[in-house]
Amino acid sequence: MFSNKRNRFLTIFLVFFIGVFAMSLAGGVNFSSFSFGTATDEAVAASLVDMGAAPSSFADLAERLKPAVVNIRTTKTVTTGGMGQFSQPFGRGGPFDQFFGDEFFRRFFGDIPQRQFKQRSLGSGFVISKDGYIFTNYHVVEKADEILIKLSDEREYEAKVVGRDKNTDIALLKIEPDNSLPVATLGDSSKLRVGDWVMAIGNPFGLSQTVTAGIVSAKGRVIGAGPYDDFIQTDASINPGNSGGPLFNLSGEVVGINTAIVAQGQGIGFAIPVNMAKTILPDLKEKGKVIRGWLGVSVQDITEDIAKNLKLKDQKGALVADVFKGDPAERAGIEPKDVIIAVNGRPVKDTHDLLRAVAEKNVGQTVKVTVLRNEKQKVFNVKIAERPERETLARLGTSTELFGMVVQEITTEIARHLGLSSTDGVIVSEVRKGSPAEKSGISAKDVVLEVNQVKIISIHDYETEMKKADAQGGALLWILRGGEKLFVAVEK
């Protein structure tokens, strides 16, 4: 009996399926109209987006967002030629200058006139206000003599730089449009999750209004670009010319500013979180630069050995290596060997985290800085000061003078601000006029790596070797200058 019922059921089901299939061939049935349960097509699509599933197309989103994205063309003047071109690779005071000099090249090659030419480059940006304010990268417009903005409707305008911040690689431009402009909505980058879909629009290799899509590959990347690195990593294709362009989420909001690529890799690009740009926007617009908070300490990350030596439970926090005299931290009572673990109750994971936390504070604001000292917590009320410029930072810290050059230790802070990959060596902060150092071509910001073929790690190493050299009447220095290494002989 059960077998007959089952056969009858299967027969009915088969007849129904064949009938529906035949009707579909005749155009009588639209399978897309079938629904299971109570979910509609729109609800299913929305749930797929919520789960991070790929949308069926980015076309509608791209069409809506393109008008707010602009192409940027810049022109700057570059000078070449002259005697300096021979010694430039070695820097002033390099081997050619020491042993040959300009007179040698003039005698054998004649005078080489300096020439100027216009260097052109491309970038991207996006409109953030109807009256013509535009976000882009600092490096896109750095030293530009002329900046031209091209809108998606082919209109062109000259732009001026209203504000710039090299530390975050962000610049704010302004044009004077004929009418109101389409605007890109700034989103909340803190809500991004690894795996979220994102879309980039820009001007790679001069190919205007190019759209690429991918996902958020990682967050909080530190790539050595500056002291406030906090990049969004994405596999949305980013190439030269995309710099300064927007990274959108699926809601059409800007969540990042595309800024860097890994030349050797594919599918590895980086964007500045838009929340960082929103934070500094008022300063860029009103002051032309960013005013950041400053504690007045030199800090370093805590290694496993340091944690063991200081009897710390873990490696979280920022170890105070030095406290600058007269600055907020010293006035508040913070000392070297203190471990800063929180600012206004917000935990500090490492030096990078501390730097960002303090930079966000307003000048004159009093914050509670929690430290570990001798295994006990202490809280200090610190009144935030204005962060010094790079040149001032290079003069802070322990220093010494020999041969007419003032050098100082390279703190983690200084290394970050001057783009150094290591704190080894000492940095020249000042060269006395008429001194042996000046005559030998030593310049401020030179990094001394070796003295008489002895590697220099600390200022103590430097003083020891330079005192020996002073007794001998001179020294051979191996220095780092502008990314290049060279030898310089200094004599009394």
**Cα(144)–Cα(18) distance, rounded to whole angstroms?**
71
Tell me the Cα Rg of the chain: 30
DSSP lists the bridge partners of residue 490 as 475
Determine contact, residues 361/293, Cβ cutoff 8 Å: yes
Tokens of 355: 């730097």
Where residue 201 falls (left for φ over 0; alpha for ψ -120 to 50; beta otherwise) is: beta
**Cα(339)–Cα(80) distance, rounded to whole angstroms?**
50
Tokens of 394: 């290079």
Determine contact, residues 425/418, Cβ cutoff 8 Å: no
**Cα(268)–Cα(407) distance, rounded to whole angstroms?**
39
Interior CA angle at 457 toward 453 and 458, to 5°? 120
Question: Has 169 been annotated as catalytic?
Answer: yes
Question: Has 139 been annotated as catalytic?
Answer: yes
Position 242, amino acid:
N
Question: Has 243 been annotated as catalytic?
Answer: yes
Catalytic residue among 217, 243, 429, 435: 243
**Cα(319)–Cα(14) distance, rounded to whole angstroms?**
75
Determine contact, residues 304/191, Cβ cutoff 8 Å: no
From the CB of residue 429, how many other CB atoms can be counted at a distance below 10 Å?
A: 21
**Cα(380)–Cα(478) distance, rounded to whole angstroms?**
43
**Cα(267)–Cα(234) distance, rounded to whole angstroms?**
7
Determine contact, residues 262/274, Cβ cutoff 8 Å: no
From the CB of residue 134, how many other CB atoms can be counted at a distance below 10 Å?
A: 26
Catalytic residue among 87, 97, 124, 169: 169
Catalytic residue among 87, 97, 139, 189: 139
Q: Strand, coil or helix: what is 66? A: helix
**Cα(68)–Cα(74) distance, rounded to whole angstroms?**
19
Give catalytic residue positions: 139, 169, 243
